[in-house]
Structure 1
Amino acid sequence: MDVKDNITPFTTFSRREWAALRESYPMEVTPDELEKLKGVNDVLNMDEIADIYLPLTRLLHLHAIASQELYRSRSVFLQKQEKKVPYIIGIAGSVAVGKSTLARVLHTLLSRWEDHPRVDLVTTDGFLYPNDVLEKRGIMNKKGFPESYDVQKLLAFLSDLKSGKSQVEAPVYSHITYDVKQDEKQIVKQPDIVIIEGINVLQPPRPVSQEDEVAVSDYFDFSIYVDADESDIFRWYVERFKKLRETAFRNPASYFRRYADLNDEEAYSFAKDIWDRINHPNLTENIQPTRHRADLILRKGEHHLVNQIKMRKI
């Protein structure tokens, strides 16, 4: 670790230093599970699980246990049993950087600790406004920008979770139809841990009045930002787009069905256009500026593997 870490809010770890923090936590992922957890074009192998995600899971486990102890102590202090509330983990970062894979890995590993077996994963895609609303507002070309989300609905969902409601519903999004599913809901029933994954979940509040000064991240107990060079993220985005031509885009119901037969040159041009008009501006204007609001920053190298970890000092 560098001496300069002592005058920053973060402690920086190399991959080797971070891997040493795993200690005796056992390997809990089989090769078959590994393939199911991996997203399109993401790199995930046993070394990444062992060196990066097992130490991270151990850290989150310790935080969750400490939170449970505080909850019990506070109940004793108040002389009453409060309703059980979940420990909430937020995951942010650009498109194509590997947030969804990280969320699935943490969901799988955290649920194997006996202290918190009920773990739910909720993506904020479901809280996007439906396409017809985006079209009516003239912001379909800003889908994924902060203004394209029903933030009040997401805040209400998180508030219900932290209020100890016995059952909370979250909207569901289809990456096939590229729209919110109107007839489907995700039911969340008093889990021990909830993972909230989305590109803009670390946005600061944008108040309408002083009473409305609350942000999505205010409900997080721990937050993670997945980081990488813009040039690498762009390359991963193009590679993912090309792979989707051969898979999801071939579904007759796919919103992107018309792009399934593009050749490599056409696919590159189309993906670059989307990146230049939408994803890159969103990254630089909205997502990247929230990076240092996270408790932990996972920095990926060009091969899609984590090579540096920054953890906020407590």
Structure 2
Amino acid sequence: MNEPAQVAPTEYEEALSPYRVFTREQWAAKRADTPMTLTTDEVTKLKSFTDQLSIEEVEAIYLPISRLLSFYVAAQQNLSRASQAFLGATDVKIPFVIGVAGSVAVGKSTTSRVLQALLSRWSNTPKVSLVTTDGFLFPNAYLEREGLMKKKGFPESYDAKALLRFLADVKAGKRHVKAPLYSHLVYDVMPGETAEVDRPDILIVEGLNVLQTGRPPRDGKAIPYVSDYFDFSIFIDAEEDVLERWYLERFMRLRDTAFRDPQSYFRRYAEKSDFEAMKTALALWYGINLVNLRDNILPTRQRATLILKKGDNHRIAEVSLRRV
């Protein structure tokens, strides 16, 4: 498979860009002496079943990210201690929050799980929690009632107030903060089901629109955004045609596996012919997911601290790091 074509930026563009851009080889060298703490079997278990991930990818891309994050976390902890000393505040452990954004089918879940595994094995063994924003989607009944079912995954389909409350509580160091859970099998929020986040050292928040903002109010009143609670953010990027192919491949594989479960929301698609199933997948991609990508997700890419650009073989080909 080919990596995405590289277009050399002009000197003017490089001078103005808020990012430093690294080739795969340049980024891999930033690993330095960071030890590999995952086995090949563990790496295989961390990836989504339609994603591709090798131990070489972890070594070349994710170990340098782990090393970089160790610097960021240490700096944030020092700043937090200095701030609390200035305020005369009680010592409260403030978690370091990482946001992971990107399109459907780009591999956000795999990236988030690999980072959680690597960071939790630092020498000081920090407590690393992972939450996806799927649990903060409005229930299907609400989406149906409000005519939003075909915009599921768009910013307006999330209970933003609940998500902001959750992040505010976690960032404030509160104990036993609850996050709602989502089932991809039944394609809905699970009533009464929650995951507990209890003062982690690091929290990873994964979701389509976690870097989304809105138009600032004319009166200047404060409107918090999810990304206001992030200390570091990652956007996973790929070309539209590549994302489309990955989405269609995933849909067809799910049709032969998870969709056949009697409880699956998509059970009806398992009985369709290959032609009808592909037709349905294309309609979902062009009618919902591509629209969301272009209108809501892609415009937030430049807000990320780190951009990981994937080639059509799922390998990270280029890394862009925001200048500090």
In which range does the TM-score fall when normalised by the shorter chain?
A: over 0.9
Indicate yes or no: 2:106 matched with 1:97.
yes
Output the aligned Cα RMSD: 1.6
Separation (CA, whole Å) in 2 of partners of 1:260 and 1:210 = 51
Superposed, 1:160-309 pairs within 5 Å as 160-205=169-214, 210-309=220-319
| TM-score normalized with structure 1 length | 0.96
In structure 2, what is the equivalent of residue 138 of structure 1? 147
Bigger Cα displacement from structure 2, 236-245 vs 252-261: 252-261
Separation (CA, whole Å) in 1 of partners of 2:273 and 2:319 = 38
Look up the equivalent residue of 1:83 and give its one-letter code.
V
Look up the equivalent residue of 1:92 and give its one-letter code.
A
SS across alignment from 2:97: strand
Superimposed CA distance per residue, residues 244-265 of structure 1 (whole angstroms, 9 cap, x where no aligned partner): 1122112111101111233332
| TM-score normalized with structure 2 length | 0.93
Separation (CA, whole Å) in 2 of partners of 1:207 and 1:297 = 25
- 1:304–1:225 distance in 2 versus 1, CA, 3 Å: same
Look up the equivalent residue of 1:237 and give its one-letter code.
Y
Asked if structure 2 preserves the Cα contact closer than 8 Å seen for 1:10 and 1:310, the reply is: yes
In structure 2, what is the equivalent of residue 13 of structure 1? 22
Aligned-residue offset at 1:268: 1.5
Moved over 6 A (4+): none
Unaligned runs of 5+ in 2: 1-7
Superimposed CA distance per residue, residues 65-88 of structure 1 (whole angstroms, 9 cap, x where no aligned partner): 111111222233334433211100
Superimposed CA distance per residue, residues 270-300 of structure 1 (whole angstroms, 9 cap, x where no aligned partner): 1100001100100000100000011110000
Superimposed CA distance per residue, residues 119-152 of structure 1 (whole angstroms, 9 cap, x where no aligned partner): 0000000000000000000110100000000001
Separation (CA, whole Å) in 2 of partners of 1:81 and 1:92 = 33
Aligned-residue offset at 1:116: 5.1
Separation (CA, whole Å) in 2 of partners of 1:183 and 1:165 = 21
Indicate yes or no: 2:65 matched with 1:48.
no
Superposed, 1:7-86 pairs within 5 Å as 7-86=16-95
Aligned-residue offset at 1:212: 4.6
Superimposed CA distance per residue, residues 3-39 of structure 1 (whole angstroms, 9 cap, x where no aligned partner): 5433210000000000000011111111221221111
SS across alignment from 2:115: helix
Separation (CA, whole Å) in 2 of partners of 1:151 and 1:240 = 28
SS across alignment from 1:211: coil
| Identity over aligned pairs, percent | 52
Indicate yes or no: 2:170 matched with 1:158.
no
* Number of aligned residue pairs: 314
Unaligned runs of 5+ in 1: none
Separation (CA, whole Å) in 1 of partners of 2:147 and 2:222 = 25
